[in-house]
Chains A and B, each alone.
Chain A
Amino acid sequence: MTKTSLFLSGFAALSTLALANAAAAQDIVLGASVQLTGPVANTGRYYRDAYQLAIDKINAAGGVKVAGKPAKLVLKLYDNQSDVNLSVRQYTQLVSQDKVNLLLGPFASNFALADSAVSEKYQVPMVQGGGASDQIFARSFKYIFGTLAPASDYYASTIAMLAVLKPAPRTVALLYADDAFDVSVADGTRPLLKKAGLDTVMDERYSTNATDFNSLLSQIKSKNADVVLVAGHETEILNFVRQAKSLAASPKMYSFTVGVPSEDFRKALGKDADYAYGMTAWLPSTALKDRWFGDAQAFATEYKAKFGYEPDYHAASGAADVETLVMAIEAAGSTDPKKVRDEIAKVHFPSLYGPIAFTAHGQIDLPQVVIQVQGPDLVEVYGATGFVKQPKYPMPAWTAR
């Protein structure tokens, strides 16, 4: 085959693909731009997979009823290559050229922060389950809704737990990356620490994608911080834990905003993940009933069977976003973006992710439970009603493990 014919046949294949993707007139197209490649692709995939699974499930159950007529959902997904600017362009294309009906979100706060400007400008509602930063909702935008618990509350349950741990921790080191989400976490955590009467001995912002934490860890050791709270990204936290081990730094406890709920994070650290604390607004429990999946446990089983890895709260949040749009379309009896927007603001339904309802700012309000890696298991240790399972505290020295 010559190069030209190879090129032509490739082109032909692409255009058939495009035709196959083109939606039938009565279909409802949901558009999203997600990180499928690039540095955060390992979290971006949760959204692609959750969106697709939820859409397939809803279609299999007869689709969406719009004013009595059933319609199918179609996903129009772009890969933003973990590039914020590209993601903004893709959302613009989704609403202005692809003319999708409604929008689903990207992963991560800095993306949602930028992309919500597009949904606001074109007045097409976006329900996103990937950005938790309070900044996204502080601008009185009307077309952005979020299903991640507010970043400023991430450490609330952890700090509540600190008050009842024995021996009581006294000193805290707070480290956070310099991006929208992590800065919001730190801003929300500081007053909570103060109120709890804990002494903050370190409060340091570090560069996103930092790989060397030896200096910070040495300071943590020399200042004898009992509790270390890190708001950052999975790669940074992997390096943090590995370097903590290599410097024999072992505070009484450390807790991370991301990583602990994710299977591949725990796998990468192996035994060294033990004792690490985190938080999650979601665990696959049968108590969370769902109209399409039955319950959260059934969702998790189906997800794992289809994609080969465990869902975490990102995936559940993404699936809930699809369900939110469907509930709002049915309530509105139309796919008109403005009508759907007003219905999203009013939704109130139980889902696999938890009860879905939005505050006046457009963000969900979900409590987070404290989780800990205990040997091979991820254990819920502290929730709204106190201890669920005894935390392993304090963390033993690295040499004593």
Chain B
Amino acid sequence: MDLLSQILVNGLLLGGLYAVMALGLALVWGVLNIVNLAHGAFIMLGGYLSWYLFTVAHVDPFLGLPITAVVMFGLGYVLQRGLLNLVVRAPMFNTLLITFGLEVVITYLAQLAFSADFRTINPPYAGGSWQIGPVALPIARFVAFCVAIALTLGMWVFLLRTRLGRAIRATAQNLVAARLYGVEPRHLYAVTFGLGIGLAGAAGGLYGTVSQVNPYIGAALTAKSFAISIIGGLDNPLGVLVGGLFLGIIESLTTLYIGPTFADVASFGILLLVLIVRPSGLLGKTA
């Protein structure tokens, strides 16, 4: 019983990290209809940025997250404005190609710039844990989990309640009507992509604090984010949160009861199941 409760806590915390990784991908996908294959590469860049902030400028990795997010937002904005806006209305195949190219370029530039060495963001308190009854609660993972919840709720409120958020949703739903109401789509697309990349950057900072960063972590993170987005649904950030938590818990339980090599089988099996039974995601609106 003690083991099971520990495993459930592990799964929940892992799920929170998954959610924040997928949040940006789902936003960009839902609003711009771009499946950003470079998403994981941006997470990786965010990890490096946080690592430099921590080791060179001695900024606490959690306090440094806003800086990472803002810098990455800027990068995302510029990329969308200068590059992706050119293809945003082209068939999906084109955007897949261009984001795939971006991922390759970013990954190899990262190896040139940072070498293939591993980096870990390791503030003295981050490795510790709180003991609550029989369960150990890892501090860094718990804080990452809280940040994930806060970002998800923040995104949800932003999209639902703010003028900019409404404009983003309006553009996603009906471009013509949105333009009639004075929405400037090119700027809005860039803001959305910037937000997605900013979230990826923040996720990278969190990832570096609990795991390790090297230039090649991106592709696997993109795949994971992709699965979570589909499981949770693209309609709202809460879906991504539910998808992430669900996947985290399922993977942890599979490792315990069936075996660690089956964790990926379970997650992609669930992905298939969701696509068959609820194609718009667990929290998605049924068509």
Among A178, A216, A239, A270, which residue has its beta carbon within 8 angstroms of that of B122?
Answer: A270
Contact A268 B127 (CB under 8 A): no
**Per-position 1/0 for A200-216, Cβ under 8 A of B:** 00001111011110111
Known: A42-B117, A42-B118. A206 touches B260 (CB 8 A): yes
Which chain B positions have C-beta within 8 A of A272? 122, 127
**Per-position 1/0 for A242-269, Cβ under 8 A of B:** 1101111000000000000000110111
Distance, CA A238 to CA B118, complexed state (A): 9
Work out how many contacts link A and B, with CB atoms closer than 8 A. 122
Q: In the complex, what's the smallest C-beta–C-beta distance from B190 to chain A, in angstroms? A: 27
In the complex formed, the residue of B with least CB distance to A81 is B108
Within 8 A of B (CB), among A184-238: 204-207, 209-212, 214-216, 218-219, 221-222, 234-235, 238
Within 8 A of A (CB), among B239-275: 251-252, 255-256, 259-261, 263-264
Contact B261 A178 (CB under 8 A): yes
- Centre residue among B119, B255, B264 by max chain A CB count within 10 A: B255
Contact B117 A268 (CB under 8 A): yes
Contact B263 A207 (CB under 8 A): yes
Distance, CA A267 to CA B117, complexed state (A): 10
- Centre residue among B131, B210, B256, B259 by max chain A CB count within 10 A: B210
Check A294 for interface membership: any CB of B closer than 8 A.
Answer: no
Chain B interface category by residue count: 35 or more
Q: In the complex, what's the smallest C-beta–C-beta distance from A223 to chain B, in angstroms? A: 9
Distance, CA A39 to CA B118, complexed state (A): 10
Contact B111 A212 (CB under 8 A): no
Check A285 for interface membership: any CB of B closer than 8 A.
Answer: no
- Centre residue among B2, B116, B119, B211 by max chain A CB count within 10 A: B116
Distance, CA A212 to CA B128, complexed state (A): 17
Among A248, A264, A267, which residue has its beta carbon within 8 angstroms of that of B129?
Answer: A248
Q: In the complex, what's the smallest C-beta–C-beta distance from A252 to chain B, in angstroms? A: 18
Contact A248 B116 (CB under 8 A): no
Known: A214-B252, A222-B6, A264-B117. A204 touches B260 (CB 8 A): yes
Known: A242-B210, A246-B139. A215 touches B252 (CB 8 A): yes
Which chain A positions have C-beta within 8 A of B111? 37, 41
Contact B14 A214 (CB under 8 A): yes
Which chain B positions have C-beta within 8 A of A37? 108, 111, 116
Q: Is the interface of B mostly helix, strand, loop or mixed?
A: helix
Check A398 for interface membership: any CB of B closer than 8 A.
Answer: yes
Which chain B positions have C-beta within 8 A of A375? none
**Per-position 1/0 for B102-125, Cβ under 8 A of A:** 000000100100011111101000
Chain A interface category by residue count: 35 or more
Q: In the complex, what's the smallest C-beta–C-beta distance from B123 to chain A, in angstroms? A: 11
Check B138 for interface membership: any CB of A closer than 8 A.
Answer: yes
Contact B211 A211 (CB under 8 A): yes
Which chain A positions have C-beta within 8 A of B216? 38-39, 41, 82
Check A45 for interface membership: any CB of B closer than 8 A.
Answer: yes
Among B129, B263, B264, which residue has its beta carbon within 8 angstroms of that of A246?
Answer: B129
Which chain B positions have C-beta within 8 A of A265? 118
Chain A residues in contact with chain B, CB under 8 A? 37-39, 41-42, 45, 82, 178, 204-207, 209-212, 214-216, 218-219, 221-222, 234-235, 238-239, 242-243, 245-248, 264-265, 267-270, 272, 398-399
9 smallest CB-CB distances across A and B, nearest first, come from A246-B138, A206-B260, A215-B255, A41-B116, A214-B10, A245-B127, A42-B116, A268-B118, A39-B216
Contacts A/B (CB < 8 Å), 30 sampled: A39-B214, A42-B115, A207-B260, A209-B220, A212-B10, A212-B14, A212-B251, A212-B252, A214-B10, A215-B7, A215-B11, A215-B251, A215-B256, A221-B6, A235-B118, A235-B214, A238-B118, A238-B120, A242-B210, A242-B212, A243-B138, A245-B128, A247-B129, A248-B131, A268-B117, A268-B118, A269-B122, A270-B120, A272-B127, A398-B128
- Please name 11 further chain A to chain B contacts, defined as beta carbons within 8 Å, in addition to the given A212-B14, A212-B255, sorted by A numbering: A178-B261, A204-B260, A211-B211, A212-B252, A218-B256, A242-B210, A242-B211, A243-B210, A268-B118, A270-B122, A272-B122
Chain B residues in contact with chain A, CB under 8 A? 2-3, 6-7, 10-11, 13-14, 108, 111, 115-120, 122, 126-129, 131, 136, 138-141, 210-212, 214, 216, 220, 251-252, 255-256, 259-261, 263-264
